[in-house]
């Protein structure tokens, strides 16, 4: 009789130990899982805030860079307009000089004077061609600057995703819950 009672007591203690182990497993897995889940949420939130701040700084830098570029382009366009105006005046002046030389040439009958005037006209025409070439170059540069695309692009940084920590934490909690239920049921069965 004493052995049966002793055996019953031992079984009761063993069941209590199994229930205690079940409870310890349940509590510890819930704690570990909760820590991982909350860590995942906190890390994700901090990553989002950091990324937003970084993208704001990048945007401001790009905006400032774009404005500086536009200012430089506008300054160069102003310089080109002044150069173009000056060259157009010089071309007009050379054309007037050519007309004047041609008028003088038509009034002279001397062949040497005639040849001299022809040479002067050729030199003025070469000067005019050089000025027109330079004018064309400046106008092309002005057109390129005025029609240029000064859009600046930058890539947004993406926030790091820590949902895997939440998934791992949830898996640990579920596994601990199932394990503790199985141990508890086995302890109750004995």
Q: Which residue has the higher pLDDT, 184 or 190?
A: 184
Helix (H/G/I), strand (E/B), else coil: 168: helix
Mean pLDDT of all residues in 27-33: 90
- Residue 171 has a pLDDT of 92
Cα separation, 81 vs 138, whole angstroms: 8
- Residue 154 has a pLDDT of 74
Cα separation, 3 vs 104, whole angstroms: 148
User: Tokens 């500086």 appear where?
Assistant: 68
36-82 pLDDT per residue, tens:
889 889 998 999 999 999 989 988 988 898 889 889 989 998 998 99
Tell whether the model's pLDDT for residue 176 goes beyond 80: yes
pTM of the model: 0.59
Cα separation, 64 vs 150, whole angstroms: 12
- Residue 5 has a pLDDT of 64
- Domain with residue 27: its CATH number is 1.10.287
Tell whether the model's pLDDT for residue 188 goes beyond 80: no
Compute, in degrees rounded to 10, the torsion defined by CA atoms 25, 30, 36, 42: -160
Report CA-CA distances (Å) from 112 to 23, 78, 116, 148. Answer: 124, 47, 6, 54
88-141 pLDDT per residue, tens:
999 899 889 888 888 877 777 676 677 787 888 888 888 889 989 998 998 898
Tell whether the model's pLDDT for residue 3 goes beyond 70: no
- Residue 112 has a pLDDT of 66
State how far Cα 130 lies from the chain centre: 45
Two structure tokens written together for 112:
């040497």
Residue ranges making up the domain that contains 39: 2-189
Domain count along the chain: 1
């Amino acid at each position: 009789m004493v052995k049966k009672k002793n055996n019953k007591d031992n079984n009761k203690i063993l069941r209590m130990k199994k229930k205690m182990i079940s409870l310890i497993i349940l509590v510890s897995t819930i704690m570990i899982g909760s820590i991982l889940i909350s860590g995942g949420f906190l890390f994700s939130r901090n990553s989002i805030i950091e990324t937003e701040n970084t993208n704001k700084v990048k945007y401001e830098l790009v905006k400032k860079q774009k404005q500086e570029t536009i200012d430089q382009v506008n300054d160069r366009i102003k310089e080109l307009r002044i150069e173009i105006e000056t060259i157009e005046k010089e071309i007009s002046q050379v054309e007037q000089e050519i007309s004047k030389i041609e008028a003088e040439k038509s009034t002279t009958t001397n062949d040497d004077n005639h040849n001299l005037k022809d040479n002067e006209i050729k030199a003025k025409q070469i000067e005019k061609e050089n000025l027109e070439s330079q004018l064309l170059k400046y106008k092309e540069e002005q057109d390129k600057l005025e029609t240029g695309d000064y859009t600046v692009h930058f890539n947004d940084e993406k926030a790091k995703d820590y949902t895997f920590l939440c998934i791992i934490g949830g898996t640990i909690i579920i596994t601990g819950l199932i394990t503790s239920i199985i141990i508890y049921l086995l302890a109750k069965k004995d």
